[in-house]
Structure 1
């Protein structure tokens, strides 16, 4: 029998509370004018536990659920489905939760451990004609873009002919010039190991690189950066430990004394040629963009935390009294000059997360970026969120917000056309209306947030707090 969810965890209440229904809506009610030129699907992924977990629950550990908004001819339809992973299927059959967060073996049924299943709850990308639901400990999980049902060649998994080497990040980088996908995977030689895989796959599905980088210690590496000449893998002191997990202590914990170590791996070389740069302890879940300057410096714009949020110290005690915020910084590395140092410049003092930009300019110098402003990791506390647009050329920024308790999903940029100038297009975000207990899909003119949404597609239900999404152009 399915048990009720705990009531004392802020990541299982309010905006974060799971929804227990899958829905189809063919024609959402629309306020404003949905642009006729918009044709495609916004897919958004996030944790939505099917059943109450065993043991302590962490926001990052819920089953993946895809929320798909298809826009065509001014109409918006909506569909949501759990990602039917092997874990989800087994628990659905049994009618109860059988696992601890992160598959903690102290709480997880041996049948679930034997599956080695993804939860596919973090991101969803379109590459090489395949829709891939991602987390960061397993292979991608391939879905049909219309039905959202598994279609991968191996029980839903995409392994590119068994050439995938280890786990797959939730944040691969797509080269807009070649279509190549660059990705990595931490704990590449087994759970809580320090090894990191570094791999590439072409637009037509050929794996062209598969190497293992020896990291300084086991770490949760959520995201990375790629430029024209470098693959940049940061190892922050958010460490992992099987010994801690088996003794009832945190599998992942903040250990600032270990410092930050950043590997620069040549795209045309090997991991044996990696250059390491040391940096003070900090944590970055997400960079915005990353590129090289004309004189060869590497620039990475990041949302930086002084202390990793949402994770404790190794003994289980809190790492900070309050949830730390992230702020936008620019890191500049001179690999040909002072190879073991870098320059840091704070670009804004507001808290924020989920940075995005015009992906056609990935790996290139760029002008426009967007974030969700507010301390988005601080569940259960008041926070006035919004969407902020940065014009990095002029230094100006504009924020739009609405109700004081509304919550904003990651802003996704959609160009007006393939040939449009940078930033010429729309920005899409799923907005939770706290006072009404439901969500809207909001569409903005991307560089004119001040005037508010030009169109809202209204749901009568709620899209719970999630992580990442992407746009697939064209009809279904």
Structure 2
């Protein structure tokens, strides 16, 4: 095992106020390590080959003011599976802001809940918050892209060493910022993204071609500044969102970042051709709500079908007495599996729930993104005061059936991507892989489950030499994709 140690303090400047997102399973780790020959309970399947990567916030230096979970520096944790063995590594995402603070030996940015006026720089729209690239991790054109939830500069990393390679410019063709959840169509080799900001036209959509260059961009006019988080693609279309969660412009002019939910505004969805522009947008209206994450979308005749995890009320009222009560309330999730149908012939929207349980962070087989899928996999949200994942759910979207796996008391998991077994072609012919941390032992492991039989429990558990803090999004990179990247 090799390691690189950094001086990290987890105590913040708020004396006597415990921030739960700096404690227990959320507490940052201060060591970058690489470890082979991990202890295994059970046996790692030999047909499970590839790498599991998960991003998340891991604060390096304490900053002035209140810490928000979204403030932490990006850190990617990875487990490489090869021929029945596993290797673990974790590395900070070395963004421009990380490099500046590393050179200074201290925090230079305040957090999202503080005035950013004195911060060195922000994103391309002048938002002075630190772009930490801590949100998602996506495989495209042989590299990993680490992204940021408020639109920033995508950071490229090597999928095995996790070495930061630099800001991704797509061969010098990217202008502006880049959202958290771009979509990759593995069938065409294209990547789809958007960029949003506080000034007209508020939303810009783009496509990166299989050659790695930006091939298309289009400005999409909105009534005002919005906070879209995700998008969808189908074989011929994209779906962009105008949802009634809005950045407060008065607060922005005063140097503060504040959002509010306009309960009287409808949700609106822009459907346009993949290489379309504002003139080709078809707008569809639906009940007000918010969508953090899309499951998938596809075409059925004249209809676009889109499954999402829909949040009915994205601004919960505080339910506990705490100095950070508003932040704690905002970070709670209450989402349902929800289906929209957009009829391109009539302009009609049909919508409704597919499940009433609280599930989020959905995943599908990456090979079927934009095509009709049968299975979706999600985390189950625990009924706790902080955001914790107490299990996994498999949805059969054809039959409506579901399977569940719970991690057990005091054990909290991560977003779990689908990992196809070697040669497998079906959407459940493979495994789900998740980091799980036991808060009682302060220890983490990787749990591997049979995607076709979650109720059977773990196929194996891989014990890790270091705790993995609870984090955000993940991906699975298949061995054939790694081989292609190496060439």
TM-score, with structure 1 as normaliser: 0.89
Structure 1 residues 36 and 418 mapped into 2: Cα distance closer, same or farther (>3 Å)? closer
CA distance in 1, matches of 2:421, 2:350: 35
Partner of 1:405: 410
Aligned to 2:308: 302
After superposition, give the CA deviation of every residue in 1:250-300 in whole Å (9 maximum; x if it has no partner): 43333323432211122243222111122222111001111111x221111
Residue 105 (structure 1) shift: 4.9
Q: Give the alignment partner of residue 227 of structure 2, picking from 204, 211, 220.
A: 220
Question: Does structure 1 conserve the Cα–Cα contact (< 8 Å) formed by 2:80 and 2:160?
Answer: no
Whether contact under 8 Å (1:194, 1:219) holds in the other structure is no
In structure 2, relative to structure 1, the CA distance for the partners of 1:237 and 1:247 (3 Å cut) is same
Instruction: Give the unaligned 5+ runs of structure 1.
Output: none
Structure 1 residue 62 corresponds to structure 2 residue 72: yes
Listed as ranges, the matches of 1:44-443 within 5 Å are: 44-102=54-112, 105-106=115-116, 108-110=118-120, 118-136=131-149, 137-151=151-165, 156-187=166-197, 195-241=202-248, 243-247=250-254, 250-293=257-300, 295-309=301-315, 323-337=332-346, 339=347, 341-375=348-382, 379-380=385-386, 385-417=390-422, 420-443=425-448
CA contact (8 A) 2:310 2:336 kept: yes
d(CA) in 2 for partners of 1:16 and 1:193? 37
Partner of 1:33: 43
Q: Identify if the C-alpha distance between structure 1 residues 374 and 245 changes in structure 2 by more than 3 Å, giving closer, same or farther.
A: same
Please say if residues 119 and 129 of structure 2, whose CA atoms lie closer than 8 Å, have aligned partners that are also in contact.
no
Q: Quote the Cα distance in structure 2 between the aligned partners of 1:176 and 1:110.
A: 38
**Aligned CA distance change for structure 1 residues 110 and 103 (closer, same or farther; 3 Å):** farther
1:320-367, Cα deviation, whole Å (9 max, x unpaired): 979451111111111211x1x411121111101111111211112221
Q: Distance in 2 between matches of 1:17 and 1:321?
A: 19
**1: distance between equivalents of 2:328 and 2:352?**
24
Q: Normalising by the residue count of structure 2, what TM-score does the alignment of the two structures yield?
A: 0.87
Structure 2 counterpart SS, 1:54: coil
Q: Secondary structure at the match of 1:90?
A: helix
CA 1:2–1:49 in structure 2 vs 1: closer, same or farther (change >3 Å)? closer
Name the SS of the counterpart of 2:56 in structure 1. strand
SS at match of 1:22: strand
Q: Cα–Cα, structure 1 residues 112 and 287, in superposed 2: closer, same or farther, change >3 Å?
A: closer
Contact 1:390 1:397 in 2 (8 A): yes
Cross-structure match for 2:321:
none
User: Which residue of structure 1 lines up, in the alignment, with residue 4 of structure 2?
Assistant: none
| Cα distance change of structure 1 residues 317 and 124 upon mapping to structure 2, 3 Å threshold | closer
| Cα contact 1:329–1:344 (8 A) shared by 2 | yes
More displaced, 220-229 or 233-242?
Answer: 233-242
- Indicate conservation of the 8 Å contact 2:180/2:229, yes or no: yes
Alignment partners' CA distance in 1, 2:329 and 2:141? 45
Q: 1:139: how far off?
A: 2.3
- Could you give the per-residue CA deviations for residues 198-220 of structure 1, whole angstroms, max 9, x where no partner exists? 11112221321012111222111
